[in-house]
Each structure stands twice: as C-alpha cells, then as structure tokens.
Structure 1
Amino acid sequence: MGGPLERCELLAPPAPELAERVIGDVLARAARLGPADPLLRTVTPREERAWTAAGLLADAERVAAGLLARHEPGTRIATCLANGPEAVLLQFGVALAGMVLVPVNPRSRGPELEHALRLSGAAAVYAAEDAGGNPAADLAEQTAARLPGLRAVHRCTGEWRALLHDRATALPTVSPQSLAQIQFTSGTTGRAKGVEITHAGMVATAHAFRARIGLAEGGVWINPMPLFHTAGNVLGVMGGLWQRCEHVVVPFEPGRVLALVPERRATLLSAAPTLLDLLMARPEIGDTDLRSLQVVFTGGQTVRPGFVDRVESTFGAPLITTFGMTETCGSALLSAPTDPDPVRRTTVGRPLAGTDVRIATPEGDPAVPGETGELWVRGERLTRGYHQDPAATAAAIDPEGWLHTGDLAVMDATGACRIVGRLKDMIKTGGENVSPEEVEEVVAGHPSVVRAAVVGAPDDRWGELVVAFVVPEPGARIDPAELERHCRDRLSPFKVPRAWRTVDELPMTASTKIQRAELRRMAAADPDLRRPAVP
C-alpha cells in the first residue's frame, strides 16, 4: 500500500493464481509434497488416531468411493457430528465425490435439524448417536419420516472405518465454481439461512489465511473449533492442508485441549474468545508448558485490548483476530503475528489477499479514515448466495458484488479495521444512537466484570433504555451503583446503562456469538423495565 488512505476503500490486487483450485487438489498437493508427513490427528474419548498425508488421501478416496456407490455427484450429504475422524473424512470424501456437504450442529434439536435438512435437500445424513447428550441420529430418523427426499440416515458411533469402501472408484472432475458446502448462519436473528460456499472460495480463503499467519510449513495446529462452521472446516481443516502441519482435531474440553499443547508441541491454537476464557480459567494453566506456541488465533466476536493482553501474557504468543462470516468462508480481514501492538490489540487487521473492503457511508460512498460506516466486502471467497432464498441474497449482495455485512467499522489510514457494532444492534435512546460495543468495552473494563452485553429495551419515554447484562468475576459482587459511576467517568450520560442485570453466562450461539435477540427478549419481558408512557 502507498501513503495514508484518503478514503476507506481498499481494492485488493488479484490473489495469487493457484494451481490447486478445488478441495481435492489441496489434499493431493500435501500427499505429493510429503506423503509420510503427519497431516491429521483426531483426539476423541473413543480413540486417538493419526494419518500421514498419503494415508489421509487414500482413506478420503475410499470414503468418496462409498458415497459414489450410493449417490450421484451433486447430491447433498448432511453431517451431524462432533469433531472427530468421521467429520473430517466425510468433509474430504464428499468433496472428492463431487457432492455437496451440509454440516449441521450436532446439538441441533428436532426443528432446527429438520429446517437444515429440508432447506438443503439432503439425500443422506450421517448423525452421531450421542452428541453431548443430544440423540442426533434418533432425531434424524424422526425427521426422515417427514422428508421423502431424505433417503438414508447413517448412525455414527465413532467407528470411522465403516465409511471406507473396499473398491477403487473413478472420481469425477470437480469445477472450482461448483458448490462445495451449504453452511448455516448462526441464527442470532430469525431462522438460519443456508450459505452456498464454492470449492474456489474455500481454497482461496484457506490459502490467504495461512499466508497471513506467516509460519513456516509444518508445525502442529490444535483445532477445537466446531467442524460444522467455517472456522473449523475452512480455516482449520483447509488451512492445515495448505500449512502441511499436523492438524489436531479435538472436541472442546478445556483440560484436554490445554494438555495437548505440550503433548504435541503445538505451534498454533485456534479458539473462540469464550473458549480462550475457559482455558485461562483452568487452575493448571500456570504449570502448563506453553512455550511451543507461536500464534493463538481467535474470531467470532469482538475482542478488547485487555483481553488481548491477558491472552498474550498467559500463552506467551501473539493473538491474531479475524473478521469473518459464514458468507466469507470464515475470514475476510485478519491481523498478523507481526503487526504492531495497536493493530493486534484494537483491530481485526487488514483484508486478506483477493478481498476488496469498503467502509460505506449511509449513501454507499467510501467513508474517510476514522469515520464509522458499514463494512462491505467483495471477492472470490464470498458466498454465491443463500440457498433457495433469492430475496435474502439480493438484500445482502448488491449488483456490484459487495456483501453488506451489517457490521459497523472504522478504518484507519493504514487500512486496519476496527469493528464497533452492528447496524441492527444500534440502540436509539432519547434521539441519540448508542453502539452496544462501545458501552460493553467500558463495562467489561471494570475489575468485577468478566463479560458484558448491552441491548436496548423498549421504553415509551426514551424509545429504548440501555440495559447491561454482566457476568461477574468469580467471587465478585456486582454493584450497579459502582458500575454506573465507572461508566459515567468514561461515557456520555446517554450511553450509561439505565438498568443492570447479573447473569451466570451470556446466551451464545453454537459459534460462540452473543444471542442479542435473546437478551432483547429478556429485557423486554422484565417487569421492572416496563413503564407507562408519560401523559
């Protein structure tokens, strides 16, 4: 980039031309360059199993052969599985077979699972018999009775060898622009939408993600991020392929994940902010050898400077943060381990290769540096649309190809972006606009508070009241008067919460995003916040 930006629009040069354009190409590359290299390790309560690059390719081809014995290329194949060998092998096998993966949260209840299977048109589903107490396979069988197109339910017990076919099969040629997956949005507002993701988008995003991290090939990546989301199966599974590292896939259990760092001499740890909080709360963390870590990666929600400082001092490695959505294959902007402290501590970094970014004014023009606007992104990694929902697609992606993210952001003169809130989450009180993120940062800065979320509650006098939900530090007592004084010293009066609610935990989606819609519902239903209109 040249001198300081005058307008907040970065039109990226084309991403590097890759010889590998589909998922199978990247797997074959790893097997060709280092067939005996460790490429995958899965750690589950049932067993720990490792694959070399050549062995993983061979098993993935056998999974693809089994799928092709039952289905045609293009068929939708759903999975409802926790992190483990079945989830990874099916991700690769479905891609090699030219079919479309539909990864579904294994903890989905009946209506959620039925919505995903019905919308995607899945012909088969591989579901865990027990997903953390949720009988996913039973629910899938009950759903199949109502969906004539769902022809097969495969009950998965962790015995991944049952997926392997015993005869070689010619695999189809797969187009880079063909549909690779239908993934579902977090569902923080309304029913989840099916996001169409292409092979080219997944491959390009994972390549750019790995390049921004900048580590030498090899190493060990520990990935407890769920494989039914892009953070787990694009940035993790596919990023690990490009890195040619030992990619350790594990369900999130804090003690086990933490122990794996010294056991495997991990160089990178992926975890959402909530998961990092849980890891740092483990009593044994002070005695755990974390010196092998070179990078800790996070995303999915806004992180604050104090949190970054705490992670980096605890783990002894730089924390890098991404802005991404299902619609961007999990990452569009990313900070780098070599970025200066202000960038790592306060921003989500700069656009990945091949990604255009604009901070747009309400009129759609590029803002000036330091001005708040809506974050727009454009590029090959973007979704081609929402499955069977042209109206939602047209509402999100404009004719010039810009995805209107709905996130409010500020770009500095170097191109680094800071997320400051959501358009739809903006609280309107007494004629003023309040960004929840700004207030949350101040509230969470109080020593008695671990986490905070701020929403608006309907009010006849003010339009909305600013309401704060706070999770206290262990053993701490929340004093609303003290928190109010803390905020008044740091915020304009109209931004200071008018009501405080203490909770044990904030409601989260499966991808660890705060369910603001649920908090708004709780606030609206709170009788202490209801007040008649002023006569």
Structure 2
Amino acid sequence: MLQHLGQISAEAARKFGDKTALIIGNDHYSFRDVDEMAQRLAGGLADIGVQKGDIVTLYSENRLEWLISYYGVTKLGAVLNPINVMLTPDEVRYVVQDCGAKVVIASRAKAEPLIGIEAGSSVSALISFDDAPEGTKSYQELLDANHPCPATPDVDPDSLSTICYTSGTTGRPKGAMQSHRAVILNTAMTAQMHLKSSDDVIVSALPCPHVYGNVVFNSAFMYGATLNMHTTFDTGVALQSIQDHKATFFEGVPTMYMYMLEHPELASFDLSTLRCLTVGGQTMPTPKMEAVEEAFGCPLIELWGMTEMAGLGSTHPLNGLRKMGSIGVSLPYTDLRIADVEDANVTLPEGEVGELMARGPLVMMGYYNDEERTREALEPDGWLHTGDLAKMDSDGCIFVVDRKKDMIVTAGFNVYPAEIERVLAAHPQVAMSAVGAQPDSQKGEIAKAYIVLKEGETGDADEIISFCREVLAAYKVPRAVQFVADLPKTSTGKIMRRELSTLDE
C-alpha cells in the first residue's frame, strides 16, 4: 500500500511504464509520460519556493495539465486544494484566503479574473496554463525549464493531503481536510470492490476536483487502467468513446445515464466491451437503473460518498450481492450505522429511518480552520454526521431516503423528495424529474415536481398527479407540477434542488 499521494505517479511509471495511462481527445500519454511531466513541474514549483506543507490551489476544467499539477504538487509533499470549476472569482478568493494557499494553478480563462490576487493574500504566484497573460507565471515555461525535481520527502500517511471545499449551500464553504491515508485507502478499497485492474479502460467526464472523479483517476494510476478523460460530458461523444476505446468501465452520475438513455442512436453504438457502470452523486430511481442495464448490457453499480470521506463510503461488490435502490454496504475499514436524528448516540434497529453516520480512516480530519463546524459534524468518538436519512436491512445494505435538509414538512408529515422522484421515474413520459418544497399558507410546505419530458412527449400535470396517487400516500403526492426544458445541475451533473425555485413560472 502506498503511503502518500506523492508516490502514485512514480509507482505507476515503474509498474506500467509505456502503457497508455491517459487518452484525452486524440492524444495518448503513457504512465511514464505523466510521471516525467509531473517531475518537471515539481522542479519548477520548487524553484519558485513551493515546499512540503504549502497549499496549492488547482482551478481548471479536466485536462492533462490539471493531472500533471496534481501529481507534481504531491511530489513536493505540498497540500492540494482542488476547487470546483464553477466557483466564481469571488468564491475562489474566499477559498484561497481561507486555506492560505501559496500558489494558484489555473487555466487561462480561470486565471485572468484572478490577476492581482497576490495583493492582500497569502498567494505568491498565479500560474496559468495556455498562453499565460501578463500578471501570471506560465505553466509551460515552468515545465520547459526542466528544473531538477527534489527528492520526495517523507510524508506521514495520517497528515493532511487535500483540502476540498464543500459547496457552501448553508453558508460559507467548508474545507474538508483529507489525510493521505484516506485518499489512498478510499481509492484502493473502491478498486477492490469493483475489481479494477490494468486490463480496464475507463471512460469518465467526472470533474477531477470532485471526490468521485478523484477516486476514478487515482484508481486508474494505482492499478494501471487506461483512463479516457473528457473535459465535459457530451452524450454522443461519451457513447462514441466507449465504442472506440473498447471501454470496460463508464463512471457517471444519474443525469448522464438519463441523457444517454434518451440518445436517439443509443442502440447503434457497440457497448459490448463494458463490464461495469458506476453511478453516484445522487440516488438513482430503480426503473431508470433497470433501463440502463438493459440498454448497456452490464451491471450498474450504485455508490455513495461525500467530500468528508475523500470519496466513497459504500458500494456494491461487483461479483457480490447487489440490491437495486440500495447504495450497497460499507467499504472495508469503514463503519456505517443508522442513528436517531434526535440522539446520535442511539443506533436504530434495521428498517428504521435515521441519519447515516460513518467512522473510520476515510473520515475527514475536520474542517480547515473551523472548529465550530467540525464539532457539529464529528462526534467525540469519531462518528461523522453525513446529513443523509437512510435505513439498513439485515444484510447491511443501506437505502438512502433523502438528504435531511431536503425533507419537506407538509401539514406535520415528513415528505422525502427522492421518494417522489423514484415514482416519477417510472412514468413512461418522464425523462428526468426533481421535487422541491414550496411554501403554503395552510400546510406550511407542499411538494412541487419539476419534470423534463422525453423527446416528443407532451405532459399533463393532472395525469402526473394521478399517477403518483396510485402509489404514494396522499400527503406525499406533489400538489404542483411544472414541465421544464432542463434542471439546474452542479459541475458533476447532480441536480440542485435548492435552485429549483428559479424555474418557477
């Protein structure tokens, strides 16, 4: 087992050498290519003063330079701060200032609005990919200077490797601190559960800064798989890549699969080399999962995780028991339990709904420079509050009901949007749906459904409500329906329920 992130690319180069590690567009790079570029960048960063323990922010869409930066930074024993490409310049400034980053590495489009960030902050250098504008340092020049890479320092596996900021939906963003052990162990155990090896070819458009995307690209390097990395998700391009590269894995979020199911030429693509699909980020309705498995001809493995766990916390073993609608069982070395929402010390019996809690080496070290919110999230005995409401069956399989913060309280009854969304997914005219709360003078809140119809279909709100009444208790039935062209999504494709009200007519 590797001890720290700075060892990953070097060990991959030693083991897999000239085997193709990355395919980006029409360009192919071997494991040796990536490690050599990471060494050169590490030398350039060391030359401008980056050393062990310094924090380096990465701010870019998926691309070769992002991965080279990731592995180059870790070779120095520096700490990574990979941030969401959708953050605004003001949000980036907050994150950089909060974590005390010494260097920011960004694509030109992301770097330009940050020019001058050194003034009044801890940043000593803003490095830009592409043609570096005035006021930035050139990434390519650092690489071309070919400064010698310092010897990788000794790094404690339990020390800080990464600070990942959450979206900050309930206030300012929080920087979850991940240890080297957490990131490496999460990647290793996920690969073990899904049986990844050097024979695999993985297609993914998951953003590298996201923990799901992080586990995907690190697993490719740790186990010698070839990663076909996409900058953004495009339905036709993804399907073509699976066919052209004879992919064995596709890794995505529910909306990606829903878009692919609706692709008019889906049946014409050769997807026969696929042996596994994974889906995470949000729960996926069982009818849609069944449709994906039928269309793609291989298992769709659901997984669950969070930033505070450096990736996954649960999934299904590829060759083991699998229950659709469940996020699987806990990863090895991870404890999961269902706690009473009023008293986290009380573990609920099987079948009862409570808060999913996690404990083990994958759990974050805390929130950076935020003791108060760390205490709110972590119990004194190490149990992490995940914020997900779930239940567990006798096999240890976990079924997520919904997010605590998304629960709708209507006339005193608890209504879970995900439960309604699972019903809507079975409607023959529905491509995608999301349910949010709307204020109501009598009931406090009511559930409203926002629906994207399948191509060529026309919707009837009354018929949708009647469909729900057939399978849902009366208080759970949405009281309003709106048909929309699309749903608000994060950079990973996760539907943002908190933004649904912006669609209101």
Measured against the shorter chain, the TM-score band is over 0.9
CA distance in 1, matches of 2:118, 2:18: 45
Which of 184, 187, 190 in structure 2 is aligned with 1:206? 187
* Residue of structure 1 equivalent to 2:52: 73
Is the deviation greater in 197-206 or in 355-364?
355-364
* Residue of structure 1 equivalent to 2:358: 377
Which of 82, 85, 101 in structure 2 is aligned with 1:122? 101
Written as runs of structure 1 = structure 2, the 5 A alignment for 1:77-476 is 77-129=56-108, 135-141=109-115, 144=117, 147-157=120-130, 162-164=141-143, 165-168=145-148, 169-233=150-214, 235-252=215-232, 253-340=234-321, 343=323, 345-362=324-341, 363-364=343-344, 365-476=346-457
1:326 to partner: Cα distance: 0.7
Instruction: Give percent identity, aligned residues only.
Output: 32
Is the deviation greater in 315-324 or in 513-522?
513-522
* Residue of structure 2 equivalent to 1:496: 477
CA distance in 2, matches of 1:202, 1:121: 22
CA distance in 2, matches of 1:172, 1:490: 60
RMSD of aligned Cα (Å): 2.0
TM score, norm. by length of structure 2: 0.93
Q: Can you list the C-alpha shifts for 1:194-246, whole angstroms capped at 9, x where unaligned?
A: 1111111100000000000024443211221101111112x112111232111
CA distance in 2, matches of 1:419, 1:202: 24
Is the deviation greater in 74-83 or in 212-221?
212-221
Q: 1:188 to 1:311 in 2, by over 3 A?
A: farther
CA distance in 1, matches of 2:175, 2:91: 12
Which of 47, 55, 59 in structure 1 is aligned with 2:33? 55
Q: Secondary structure at the match of 1:399?
A: coil
1:151 to partner: Cα distance: 2.0
Name the aligned partner's letter for residue 146 of structure 2: D
CA distance in 2, matches of 1:197, 1:251: 25
Q: Can you list the C-alpha shifts for 1:253-310, whole angstroms capped at 9, x where unaligned?
A: 3332222212221111111111222233333322211111111111001111111112
Q: Can you list the C-alpha shifts for 1:480-529, whole angstroms capped at 9, x where unaligned?
A: 11111111111111111111122211212223222222225766xx7xxx
CA distance in 2, matches of 1:464, 1:453: 16
1:145 to partner: Cα distance: 5.7
Asked if structure 2 preserves the Cα contact closer than 8 Å seen for 1:106 and 1:128, the reply is: no
CA distance in 2, matches of 1:21, 1:302: 33
CA distance in 1, matches of 2:259, 2:503: 25
1:407 to partner: Cα distance: 0.3
CA distance in 1, matches of 2:466, 2:216: 43
Q: Which has the higher contact order (CA 8 A, sep 6+)?
A: 1
* Residue of structure 2 equivalent to 1:533: none
Q: Unpaired runs of 5+ in structure 2? A: 132-137
Q: Secondary structure at the match of 1:283?
A: coil
Asked if structure 1 preserves the Cα contact closer than 8 Å seen for 2:85 and 2:491, the reply is: no
Q: Secondary structure at the match of 1:332?
A: strand
1:338 to partner: Cα distance: 2.5
1:475 to partner: Cα distance: 2.1
Query: What count of residue pairs does the alignment treat as equivalent?
Result: 493
Matched, 1:38 2:20: yes
1:415 to partner: Cα distance: 0.6
CA distance in 2, matches of 1:191, 1:491: 37
Q: 1:230 to 1:66 in 2, by over 3 A?
A: same
TM score, norm. by length of structure 1: 0.88
Q: Can you list the C-alpha shifts for 1:389-437, whole angstroms capped at 9, x where unaligned?
A: 1111110111011111110111110011111111122111112111111
CA distance in 1, matches of 2:87, 2:317: 34
Q: Can you list the C-alpha shifts for 1:367-396, whole angstroms capped at 9, x where unaligned?
A: 111111110011111111111111111101
Q: Secondary structure at the match of 1:86?
A: helix
Q: Unpaired runs of 5+ in structure 1? A: 1-17, 130-134, 527-535
CA distance in 1, matches of 2:392, 2:333: 18
1:105 to partner: Cα distance: 2.4
Q: Secondary structure at the match of 1:469?
A: strand
CA distance in 2, matches of 1:255, 1:420: 32
